[in-house]
Chains A and B, each alone.
Chain A
Amino acid sequence: MEVAAVAQPSGFRTLERQAKAVNPGQKHEYPHVQGLTEPHIQSFNSIWERAGPRTPALIDVAMSLVDKQTMFDHKGDGDKHLGNKIVFWMDTLRLEHPSLSARETKSTNRLMYPSECRQRGISYRGRLTGMLHYQVNDNPVVSEERVLGQLPVMVRSNRCTLQNMGPAELIRHHEEAEEMGGYFVINGNERVIRLLVATRRNHVLGLQRPSYGNRGPGFTPYAAQIRCVRRDQTSQTMTMHYLTTGRLVLRFALRKQEYLVPVSLLMRALVGASDREIFEAIVGGDAENIFVRDRVELLLRAAKEYAVFTQDQALAYLGDKFRVVMYAPEDATNIEIGRILLRRMVMVHLDTDRDKFNMMAHMVRKLYAVVSGECQEDNPDTQQLQEVYMPGHLYLAIIKEKVEDYLLGVRAEINKDVRAEKVDLYNTRYLARVFSRVVSDIGIRLQYFMATGNLVSKSGLDMQQVSGYTVVAEKLNYLRFISHFRCIHRGAFFTELKTTGVRKLLPEGWGFMCPVHTPDGSPCGLLNHLAHKCRLTTIVEETAAVDAALVRLGVHPGLPTPAQRDPHLLTVQLDGRIVGYCSQSVAARIADALRMLKLDGTRSKKQSAIPFSMEIGFVPRSHGGQLPGLYLFTTPARFIRPVTHLATRLVDHVGSFEQVYMDIACLDADVRPGVTTHQEVLPTHILSAVANFTPFCDFNQSPRNMYQCQMGKQTMGTPMHTYAYRTDNKLYRLQTGQTPICRPRIYDDYGVDGYPNGANAVVAVISYTGYDMEDAMILNKSAHERGFGYGTIYKTEYIDLGKHRKPGDPVTLHFGLGPDSIGDESIMDNIDIDGLPLPGARVEEGSPLYAAIDDVRGRTKVHKYKGEPGYVDGVRLLAGGIDDELQAIAVTFRIPRSPIIGDKFSSRHGQKGVCSQKFPATDMPFTETGMQPDVIINPHAFPSRMTIGMFVESIAAKAGALHGVCQDATPFQFDETNTAADYFGEQLRAAGYNYHGNEPMYSGVTGQEMRADIYIGVVYYQRLRHMVSDKYQVRTTGAVNPLTLQPVKGRKRGGGIRLGEMERDALIAHGAAYFLQDRLMNCSDYSLAYVCRTCGSILAPIAVPATSHVVDLDRSASSGLSTMSALSPAETSAVMAAAGSSVHVGRGPLDLSCRLCRSADDITMVALPFVFRYLATELMSMNMKVKLDVK
């Protein structure tokens, strides 16, 4: 056999895996799986633990940035009229490992594990404490520890009790062997904080948006924007608007309120720059640029109107305006407040005012460059200018804000007391009271955030949306679960957007975002998935060495000046700080040198001066491209990915900014000597994990691969092995899963073999009877009987007897069978003497489920089961408190779901179909070797969809089955000269089969040989979770709406499916009048009504007692039309009801009579829709008469 140059097929490794399953080790078998949740876990870890010797834990950084609150009691006079001063602040927030509450005294192991929380339906939380400090006047600082509530803890983070556990220990704690964490357990559900796309931090974007022009008079569409990120990873976005007057204003938001501040004022306030300094900083070396010079001149001229000439004046001006909103100490001067404003709101990623000034000048320069067309405006939708809101950072930002809120709350309390003159700062009891009067439970706020995904925030945290931050990590199957951690959303704002630009797949995302794995429909292109090798940086790097290296390599510190008269000098920025400038050729050299230094660190495996994740974005000069410069980034939350550095053959990590300016070849053939510096490690690295699981996806038409990514996630598979320790609402399980014969090598990396999603089926592509048309598929009945696609659903129901009991009330309901029901066979079959269901008992609609004795009534109440037939899989007794009586249980049901007609199946190539028939084996066609297909699909499924990958899989798996080998289905392995068809065709021929995978077949019905030979092979089939048992809707008669007497809607209520207006149109067009009458009338609200032919009213005919109606009519004759009012409403309705049926109602026989005509002569009966009567009544109430012309 001629074997082409394809890498060795991966093996099933069955025995190896079995050995590991029986004897799990201490080390994880699949490091790739652990890598999936890396961004989540590491960003959470960085909150609580320091990453390096000089990078403190983020929580401490955040607390250092929270302002100390200063207050006065206003009890003094004269010089010290503000009176006594109190300063209070909070720091040293610490999170403990989750542990049992103090109420539970009987357990020696105080630690709590996630599995317990899942099963009990509670949250996995640890105690958060903080140190509250206060100082009154110059007295010693008083510190006390405060408990800030129970904070949800990320599973497998450094605050989780499972941290550092290996498979053996994890299994002991009822977790998966390869549990990778990254989620929170909230009320028993696993919830993940979504990754969200953010604008790249500390980098100026030049924007042109028509909406900016509409902001007000003078505004133009041009602006420069920078999202500055503080050291604690909270951000502050600033937008610099270009006005027609030549002025520039800086816009920023403070507590969701927008403020506009003139840029010239800020620049002066920052360093006290003179007009000349500002001019030089902005113009730089480009002294000849008339456009910029004119604009700067205008800017400075416009600044004159504020009459602010010195730094102090500028600061005082700002301080005056912002005094109220800054919550500044009352004794602070305007200048001080001005400084606080600059520190807190302006260019917050920088520490020194000089750096801020330089960056501001750069921002102005970039804005002018965009306006003049010297450089292009940036597209914020490219991955180049994007990063990620990391879950941990978001979490920290909320904690920080809640601490701030607490301090502000205390401030408000003290303020209230100051006004009421009840304040006494020297009274420790008063202070203790005031500090505890404000709710300091931060844990509950975070719990709410995690449970709902809603962000309740005063500042808005510089975020674009208020909800949708967290999602449930559904464990429908393995693929779905892992993709939750890799999915990245563009932001809720963009889902509303009419324009589709944001959804576009852009080349900048190559290798970072998976081009295949995005849903079709409304979230298409907004909900993306990370390529499986794409990483997110999480560590705040130490950059002092980079600075030193830059200066050593020839960067001049500061900004270029006009005196240099060189317009081509490039700025060098490190994390949004201007380090200096140099010429383009020097910059290019520096970029190369830095790359080598960076790789040095990788090579020597020791801590390098240059972080391995640093981006070296060298933007050369171009004609109207991006603003040139050397942009270096070391910050967290960036996309990076590994590629091979060709010169050194080392793995280099490239970021999304620099990638655009690098020459990275994909295949060997793409390498251009002297130009290409890097090469992809593998071409499959551009795909996400789930997209990589599609075999031979390079043969398919691209949308089919997208569909498979969706369907793979809807498959009924094996989500976990810990069914016994789960109480999820609904869990799916495929009982007879197999590992595919034909699968990409990546299956081994992610351990997918342990979580099978389907079964290998013999598939024949024939049009055999009509039952395979329109994507239907025929199943072999015998295959089904042998267990093909056999699935089970696990449902858990929580039963709480104390649900309606108020706290403190005595327990009146007890689980148990009372003497009144003990011995009852029908009950005892399902319920044990303790009142709880017997595990293994079969239940169906209405069978007894559990029993409780009611003290009040002294009886046993047996509760019935509702739902599909199934079995009781297990009963969990849930503890309220340790000594309390049992009041709550969780019952898990096991509902068998063997495939039936109408269930949905799919191959791994986006070819879904519904089972239309289960053919007996004898009627199935068979081959000369006696093989019968398990599945028959129609050939029409292929021409338009072009899923060639499915054909290749079919022959590859067939050859694999014949030779007993596992076939490698990794994409991009074959090419024109070495085709897959030939490689697998030869294997088939060697096994004595047709080279193309065809076989002659005989009809199972007639035994005749078929005219054409049939393509038959082995394809891995998934069973999708969409099953008819969950969807079927059927109704003959049933519930009706009480008002209209029309059938109700909804599957649960036994309603019908509406035959709507368009359906009606179609039936009219067909002239199907009788059918229409049947649907709209007879099967709906058919009713009979009496109508008076004289007056045409259907409401006037009433039934009156046969004896008395003459008298009645006589009496009403005098009152004429007021007959109606003569009867009370109750009487009217009684009479009306009787009229409908015309039966005897107690008082005697009834006669019909028209109240308007006062005669019974012309009353006749007609069939009407009941709503018509309703309509007539409604109209009557508005004094309108409905007249029927009955002939």
Chain B
Amino acid sequence: MIAEVPTMAIDLVEFHENTSMLVDEYLAHRLGMIPLTSHKVDDFKFTRDCTCTDYCKECSVEFNLHVKWNEEGTRTVYSTELISSNKDVVPVLDSDQDRGIILLKLRKGQEIHIHCIAKKGVAKEHAKWSPCAAVGFEYDPHNNLRHLTYWFEKSIKDEWPLSKNADEEMENDPDAPFDFTAEPTTFYFNVETVGSLHPQNLVDMATRELQGKLGALQLALEEDQNPVSNANMDDGEPWV
């Protein structure tokens, strides 16, 4: 979920004019961090898999921003002002009233004119493609299996508050004989996304990703046991 679910994020920024306070590379970094709606991410190819030389509609979305401020006071530029070439890939918003993330502020006479290219990618490459903020993971909230030895000064109960997941399970009777063979069966995930994907969506996609990986592994193992088909695949290179 953290590293391998693809999303869209701004990857290239072409600066035509930037007379704002923020320097180019800093602004480009900010732009990259903007979460873009990525529910249609599967429609895009990775640029490296795409047939185009640079970028194209198949693998990227373009954004334009051109603001020139000639009045007194400060002009705030929001992420919603980025004009997308694809209505499915736009900066994430909280609500209809939300104007998005503040990109920069302009004073009188300052101008920003940029052209951004968003690409599909995974967080393994850069954190900006990460769809989730944090993934909580827990099992056995009551420590029934005694996988943990909590460190405490006076009392475990006082010093270690139970998590919310503890409501879902029963605590074992401390006097009951300990079952050495018990295995954890319930795992609690707490998924929080940055908005580019719905959490439900994200879990689905992550499961699919995992399935794909397991499938590939299974295939590889089968090939390993079946040297006939292996002969076709093996080109003499050691398999890394």
Contacts and interface: CB of A to CB of B under 8 A. Distances in A.
Interface of A: 22, 735, 781-783, 785-787, 790, 792, 840, 871, 873, 894, 896, 920-922, 926-932, 989, 992-996, 998, 1000, 1002, 1009, 1011-1013
Nearest to B192: A930
B3 A930 contact: no
A1012 B150 CA distance: 7
Contact of A993 (B133, B152, B161): B161
A896 B128 contact: no
Contact of B123 (A735, A782, A928, A1011): A782
A782 B151 contact: no
Contact of B130 (A782, A873, A926): A782
Interface string B142-157: 0000011111110000
A994 B130 CA distance: 29
B161 A926 contact: no
Contacts of B208: none
A922 B3 contact: yes
A840 B18 contact: yes
B138 A928 contact: yes
A894 B159 contact: no
B25 A871 contact: yes
B123 A992 contact: no
A810 to B, nearest CB: 37
A781 B127 contact: yes
Contact of B136 (A782, A871, A929, A993): A929
Contact of A920 (B124, B161, B163): B124
Interface of B: 2-3, 15, 18, 23-26, 29, 33, 74, 123-124, 126-128, 130, 133-138, 147-153, 158-161, 163, 190, 192
A1013 B151 contact: yes
Contact of B137 (A871, A930, A998, A1011): A930
A995 B158 contact: yes
Given A989-B158, A998-B151, A1013-B151, 8 more contacts: A22-B74, A787-B29, A787-B33, A921-B123, A922-B3, A993-B161, A994-B159, A996-B151
B6 to A, nearest CB: 15
Contacts of A926: 135, 137
B151 A1012 contact: yes
B190 A996 contact: no
B32 to A, nearest CB: 9
Contact of B159 (A792, A930, A996, A1011): A996
Given A840-B18, A871-B25, A996-B159, A785 B137 contact: no
A921 B161 contact: no
A892 B25 CA distance: 16
Contacts of B23: 792, 871, 873, 894
A90 B100 CA distance: 70
B24 A782 contact: no
Contacts of B158: 989, 995
B7 to A, nearest CB: 14
Given A896-B25, A926-B135, A928-B138, A1009 B124 contact: no
26 contacts: A785-B126, A786-B127, A787-B29, A792-B23, A840-B18, A840-B24, A871-B23, A871-B25, A896-B25, A921-B2, A921-B3, A922-B2, A922-B124, A928-B137, A929-B136, A929-B190, A930-B134, A989-B161, A993-B161, A995-B159, A996-B151, A996-B159, A998-B151, A1000-B148, A1009-B148, A1011-B148
Given A785-B128, A930-B190, A1013-B148, A996 B25 contact: no
A1011 B161 CA distance: 19
Contacts of B135: 926, 930
A105 to B, nearest CB: 29
B25 A994 contact: no
B240 to A, nearest CB: 18
B105 to A, nearest CB: 9
Contacts of A931: 134
A464 to B, nearest CB: 48
B130 A1002 contact: no
B3 A929 contact: no
Contacts of A783: 127
A926 B191 CA distance: 13
B4 to A, nearest CB: 8
A22 B76 CA distance: 13
Contact of B147 (A787, A995, A1009): A1009
A928 B149 CA distance: 15
A893 to B, nearest CB: 12
Contacts of B33: 786-787
Q: Which of A790, A871, A930, A1009 has the most CB of B within 10 A?
A: A930
Contact of A921 (B130, B159, B160): B130
Nearest to B143: A1000
Nearest to B74: A22
Nearest to A926: B137
Given A735-B26, A840-B18, A930 B163 contact: no
Contacts of A1002: 137
Contacts of A785: 126-128
Contacts of A840: 15, 18, 24
A114 to B, nearest CB: 22
Nearest to A784: B127
A998 B158 CA distance: 13
Q: Which of A783, A785, A927, A932 has the most CB of B within 10 A?
A: A785
Contacts of A929: 134, 136, 190
Contacts of A786: 33, 127-128
A993 B123 CA distance: 29
A1009 B140 CA distance: 11
A2 to B, nearest CB: 13
B229 to A, nearest CB: 32
Contacts of B24: 840, 871
A840 B133 CA distance: 33
Nearest to B25: A896
Contacts of B159: 989, 994-996
Contacts of A995: 158-160
B2 A994 contact: no
B102 to A, nearest CB: 12
A785 B122 CA distance: 13
A921 B134 CA distance: 11
Contacts of A930: 133-137, 190, 192
A782 B123 CA distance: 8
A998 B160 CA distance: 9
A1154 to B, nearest CB: 58
Contacts of B3: 920-922
Contacts of B148: 1000, 1009, 1011, 1013
Contacts of A928: 136-138, 163
Contact of A994 (B15, B127, B147, B160): B160
A736 to B, nearest CB: 9
A992 B130 contact: no
A601 to B, nearest CB: 48
Given A930-B190, A1013-B151, A782 B134 contact: no
A1179 B53 CA distance: 68
A1011 B148 CA distance: 6
A450 B33 CA distance: 48
B178 to A, nearest CB: 17
B109 to A, nearest CB: 14
A992 B163 contact: yes
B150 A1013 contact: yes
Nearest to B138: A928
A787 B147 CA distance: 36
B189 to A, nearest CB: 9
Contacts of A781: 127
Nearest to A896: B25
A922 B15 CA distance: 33
A931 to B, nearest CB: 6
A1153 B63 CA distance: 79
A68 B55 CA distance: 86
Nearest to B154: A995
A992 B161 contact: yes
